[in-house]
Structure 1
Amino acid sequence: MGRRNTRNLNMPPCMHPRTQRSGKVYYYMYTKDKPRKEIPLGPDFILALKKYAELNIVVEVIANATFSDVEKRYLVEAVPKLAASSARMYRSDIKHLLAAFSEAPLAQIKPMHIRQFLDDRADKPTTANRCKRVFSTMWNHARGWGYTDLPNPCEGIQGHSLPKRTVYITDAVFEAVWGHAGAPLRDAMDLAYLTGQRPADALKMTESDIIGGYLVVTQEKTKQPLRIKVVGELAALIERIKARKATRSIVTAALLVNAHGKRLTGPALRSQFDAAKKLAAEKNPELLPEIKKFWFYDLRAKAADDTSDQHGDQAASDLLGHDSVRTTQRHYLRRGKIVEPTR
């Protein structure tokens, strides 16, 4: 029979206090796995007990952890830290992963199962590849949490080969759709193109973001900060937007507003864009194939290509907020370099 504990009787097993040099008491919990780890619970006793209860559940499931166990914790701890658009995509992809792995013990998931997952979804290669990346990220979190110490089963498994998107939106196609758009969509198209930002970032821009002659942007996806000079066509566009907003009784700081003066939403933008494309295709049958291929997101690539032609690849990369010009070249520059003939 082991020696009975006579200290910290007000605490559950494996929990103990420690007095810091400052005199403040912090609480910790030892895990039962080997090598034993010490997890800080904080200085507040009640909150420490709460965290202990949450973590103790985790410790108990580690021995036979399943993919579902990882999914539950990942949705609570990791997904909320992502950008809103990324979080929505991750939740959607995780549903596909749950359908395949759900109660599968982590110890039994092998590289061959990842390969099979990809092969079973060969008809949706983009989604399959994205799900594989999410699975890999979740597995790495599981290793950090102590759910498994096995190598990532995605390692060495190649995803589907995907062709690079090569669609370049010509001025003719842009003007055809713009010409059949209402004022809110015209403003959105112009703002997205002139700033080179993602649709979600364009929708978030406000008059308050214009500071000292710059449009200050913090990209939702990467948190990359940018200061875009408010000059030329962008300055004229912002004045046009302000003039239109001034005719509405509703006051909002957003740059992109609907016909009533309220902030323009993502669903409304998509609906208006699809309607304008349909009208443009009907009125410009010679441009039908190109108009059908036009995605609103392509305006970011058009901004990159047009900026590159005028000022070089680095300027395009800076506008898009990329840390590396290679990212811009690989994913956004679609027209090819301008070169001189031999003679």
Structure 2
Amino acid sequence: MRPRKQNRHLPPCVYQKHGAYWYVKKGKWNRLGTELHSALIEYARLTAAQGSGMPALIDRAWPEITRDLKPNTVKQYRYAADQLKNILVEFEPGQVTPRVVAEIRQHYAATPNMANRIISFLRQVMHYAVENQIVESNPAVGLRRLKEKQRDRYLTDAEYRAIRAHASGNLRPIIDICYLTGQRISDILAIRLADISDEGIRFTQQKTGARLLIEMTDDMRAAIDAAKALPRKVRGLTLFCTMRGGRPYSYYTVRTMWNTAAERAGVQDAHLHDLRAKAITDAKNQGLDPQALSGHTTEAQTNRYIRARDTVRAKPPSIRQLSN
């Protein structure tokens, strides 16, 4: 089966067409419904009848686990679900023991972030199994998380200028707005024209739900004007949109443009998300409020975020008195 290019948040064999969701198996189309949540429940009911193993349990638990999650988290859990289905394809729920869970974690130990995500998802699947009296206990409870390596890359001013100089005309305003607002790329690409006023740009962060206004500056106004001035056959509702269809840019498109610009500039290990780190760190060094800019709920979150990228400055002692 070829990997999906669109609708990656949907389970296998589920497609959206003509305003409804469909389960397609062996050429037969079964209508699941028009609402995603109810469609997933119907999908779980249909697939549950096809087997009682772990893959079937994962499909049954999926609607409950993902009901109130953010789209980005759903995509990550979709990957985790697919990985677990492959690993546990021959397991019944009762055969998943703490030792099996520990072995899965060890298998992904080289990528601790993904390992923790997979175990977290498995823990919720087994919690669903406990609640529905499929198993008596949750084998994933009590397993410690792997220590995740925190990225400490700081993008220097020279590197920023070099990447921007080699960026396409479509990418440059995105780079500038990312830096000037310090917001996550998903929130940058979701900026609507209606969110922009003489006061600034209003954000409702997709990850946290935090609402904030980044005040307008001359630099920000110039970046906004540059984005609006780009040639567009169709003007979309968002500040950044594709030339032909006027649709918002996808994260993957912008990441590809960024990687190309960084490669041409000769800047190594530069991630698109490093722009947010640079903005927050520079805001602190310029005497501004980094917590307000980041939208973090606590000062500790912001301080931890900055310390990984900031450099402590120290003055050396004088040597003059030693010369006398």
Tell me if TM exceeds 0.5: yes
Aligned counterpart for 1:208 among listed residues 186, 191, 194: 194
Partner of 2:88: 101
Is 1:254 the counterpart of 2:228 in the alignment? no
Is 1:218 the counterpart of 2:204 in the alignment? yes
Partner of 1:83: 70
Greater mean deviation of Cα atoms: 255-264 or 68-77: 255-264
Is 1:296 the counterpart of 2:272 in the alignment? yes
Looking at structure 2, the residues matched to 332 and 138 of structure 1 have their Cα atoms a distance apart, in angstroms, of 35
Q: Normalised by the size of structure 2, how large is the TM-score? A: 0.73
Looking at structure 2, the residues matched to 155 and 78 of structure 1 have their Cα atoms a distance apart, in angstroms, of 16
Structure 1 unpaired stretches of 5+: 1-49, 282-290
Partner of 1:323: 297
Looking at structure 2, the residues matched to 227 and 240 of structure 1 have their Cα atoms a distance apart, in angstroms, of 21
Partner of 1:161: 147
**Aligned amino acid, residue 127 of structure 1:** M
1:78-112 per-position Cα deviation (integer Å, ceiling 9, x unaligned):
32532222211111111111122245333332222
Looking at structure 1, the residues matched to 92 and 104 of structure 2 have their Cα atoms a distance apart, in angstroms, of 16
Deviation at 1:321, TM superposition (A): 1.9
Aligned counterpart for 1:274 among listed residues 259, 271, 280: 259
1:143-201 per-position Cα deviation (integer Å, ceiling 9, x unaligned):
44454441x32333234333321110011111101001111110111111111111111
1:45-99 per-position Cα deviation (integer Å, ceiling 9, x unaligned):
xxxxx9xx97xx79x99xx975334311232343253222221111111111112
Work out whether residues 65 and 124 of structure 2, in 8 Å CA contact, stay in contact via their aligned partners in 1: no
Q: Given the superposition, is the C-alpha separation of residues 275 and 96 from structure 1 closer, same or farther in structure 2, using an over 3 Å criterion?
A: same
**1:81-230 superposed matches below 5 A:** 81-150=68-137, 152-211=138-197, 213-230=199-216
Looking at structure 2, the residues matched to 187 and 137 of structure 1 have their Cα atoms a distance apart, in angstroms, of 41
1:257-312 per-position Cα deviation (integer Å, ceiling 9, x unaligned):
3455834332321222122122111xxxxxxxxx2200001111111211222236
Deviation at 1:342, TM superposition (A): 8.4
Q: Normalised by the size of structure 1, how large is the TM-score? A: 0.69
Greater mean deviation of Cα atoms: 189-198 or 253-262: 253-262
Looking at structure 2, the residues matched to 164 and 205 of structure 1 have their Cα atoms a distance apart, in angstroms, of 28
Looking at structure 2, the residues matched to 136 and 190 of structure 1 have their Cα atoms a distance apart, in angstroms, of 41
Aligned counterpart for 1:335 among listed residues 299, 303, 309: 309
**Aligned amino acid, residue 240 of structure 2:** L
Structure 2 unpaired stretches of 5+: 1-37, 318-324
SS in structure 2 of the partner of residue 252 of structure 1: coil
1:318-341 per-position Cα deviation (integer Å, ceiling 9, x unaligned):
322222222233345433365665
**1:49-68 superposed matches below 5 A:** 66-68=53-55
Work out whether residues 178 and 276 of structure 2, in 8 Å CA contact, stay in contact via their aligned partners in 1: yes
Work out whether residues 154 and 310 of structure 2, in 8 Å CA contact, stay in contact via their aligned partners in 1: no
Looking at structure 1, the residues matched to 240 and 312 of structure 2 have their Cα atoms a distance apart, in angstroms, of 35
Looking at structure 2, the residues matched to 172 and 69 of structure 1 have their Cα atoms a distance apart, in angstroms, of 52
Partner of 1:264: 249
Looking at structure 2, the residues matched to 213 and 268 of structure 1 have their Cα atoms a distance apart, in angstroms, of 30
RMSD after superposition: 3.2
Looking at structure 2, the residues matched to 77 and 130 of structure 1 have their Cα atoms a distance apart, in angstroms, of 17
1:129-153 per-position Cα deviation (integer Å, ceiling 9, x unaligned):
2211221233334444454441x32
Greater mean deviation of Cα atoms: 196-205 or 253-262: 253-262
Looking at structure 2, the residues matched to 139 and 308 of structure 1 have their Cα atoms a distance apart, in angstroms, of 44
Return the structure number with greater helix share.
1
Q: Given the superposition, is the C-alpha separation of residues 177 and 101 from structure 1 closer, same or farther in structure 2, using an over 3 Å criterion?
A: same
SS in structure 1 of the partner of residue 268 of structure 2: helix
**Aligned amino acid, residue 302 of structure 2:** T
Deviation at 1:225, TM superposition (A): 2.1
